Amino acid sequence: MVDLATMLNVKRSTLSSWIHNDRRPPMDVLLILTGQTGLSLENLEYGFDWEPSDDEEAAENHSPKFKAIMQMVSGLNNEEQDIVYSLLTYMKKKP
């Protein structure tokens, strides 16, 4: 835990809260994890047994717009990411 927290540049208590309280780390931390471990965002989110269904695209098949959005989001600070997350959550729930 200490080594992982150090690698991610976060406090051990923060890392513990992500693990034990079912909280998601911010996108910049997830991108560090993907870069350091070689795992995809899908593996981090869904585990190793996850297989995309027919209606889900594999990460490498995402549109250029999706990739551009993900790159923009990764450059945001935590507060800005929270705002984007709230907006996307609202939009997803809206009929």
pLDDT in tens, the chain (95 residues): 888 888 888 899 988 888 887 678 888 888 888 888 888 887 777 777 766 665 555 556 677 777 778 778 788 888 888 788 788 777 877 66
Element holding 78 (H helix, E strand):
helix 78-93
Asked whether the beta carbons of 42 and 34 are under 8 A apart, the reply is no
**Residue 71 belongs to what domain range?**
2-93
Task: Give the chain's radius of gyration (CA, Å).
Answer: 15
Cα–Cα distance measured from residue 9 to residue 4, given in angstroms and rounded to the nearest whole number: 8
Please give the tally of structural domains in the chain. 1
pTM of the predicted model as reported, rounded to 2 decimal places: 0.48
- pLDDT attached to residue 95: 63
